[in-house]
């Protein structure tokens, strides 16, 4: 079974991202617009309880925050990916670091760059054309983050499904 940990942005951000994703993102049908906290990793079902308890503790110690999407960026030439860039990355970077420290199977070969993918697996010509147009788009969106989500799928060709959602700490209700 494959797992990953994500944040789903607000509906307006998802709707805007999907205007591009449905044309340019090969993963459009498999997962809604999201910000990955952990890249996909494999885990046996016997380890799931430990995983969910670890994520619950981390989420419970993290206060809600707001993401600000501010630009269109690209990972080219390393990866032919176009994304919405996130202006205030501190909360995401801290969550990613804590999750990878406590869930070692979820390693990542790249430096963590928080983003929301809007196009991927493009040819070089497609990337140049699409990115050339999109980088001129004024991006000014925000999304409150109140939960992180554990997703699973049995194989790389199936749809990601939510296993569990974990509320972030609500210090105001204490």
Residues near 171 by beta carbon (within 8 Å), at least 6 away in sequence = 63
Nearest-10 crossing angle of helices 90-102, 48-60: 150
DSSP, res 106: G
Q: Which of 91, 96, 115, 149 is catalytic?
A: 115
> CA geometry: angle at 89 spanning 64 and 98, to 5°?
70
115 annotated active-site: yes
Position of tokens 């070692």? 104
Q: What is the rounded CA–CA span in Å between residue 60 and residue 53?
A: 10
Q: Which of 34, 91, 96, 149 is catalytic?
A: 34
Q: Are 50 and 60 in contact (CB under 8 A)?
A: no
Q: What is the rounded CA–CA span in Å between residue 27 and residue 122?
A: 12
DSSP, res 161: E
Q: List residues with catalytic annotation.
A: 34, 115
């Amino acid at each position: 079974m494959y797992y990953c940990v994500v944040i789903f942005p607000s509906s307006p951000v998802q709707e805007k991202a999907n205007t591009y994703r449905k044309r340019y993102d090969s993963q459009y049908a498999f997962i809604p617009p999201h910000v990955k906290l952990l890249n996909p990793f494999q885990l046996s079902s016997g380890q799931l309880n430990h995983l969910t308890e670890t994520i619950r503790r981390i989420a419970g110690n993290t206060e809600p925050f707001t993401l600000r999407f501010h630009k269109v960026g690209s990972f080219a030439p390393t990866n032919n990916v176009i994304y919405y860039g996130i202006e205030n990355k501190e909360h995401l970077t801290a969550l990613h670091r804590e999750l990878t420290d406590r869930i070692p199977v979820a390693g990542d070969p790249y430096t963590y760059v928080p983003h929301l993918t809007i196009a991927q697996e493009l040819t070089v010509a497609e990337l140049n054309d699409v990115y050339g147009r999109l980088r001129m788009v004024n991006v000014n969106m925000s999304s409150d983050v109140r939960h992180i989500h554990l997703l699973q799928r049995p194989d790389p060709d199936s749809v990601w499904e939510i296993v569990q959602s974990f509320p972030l700490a609500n210090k105001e209700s204490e």
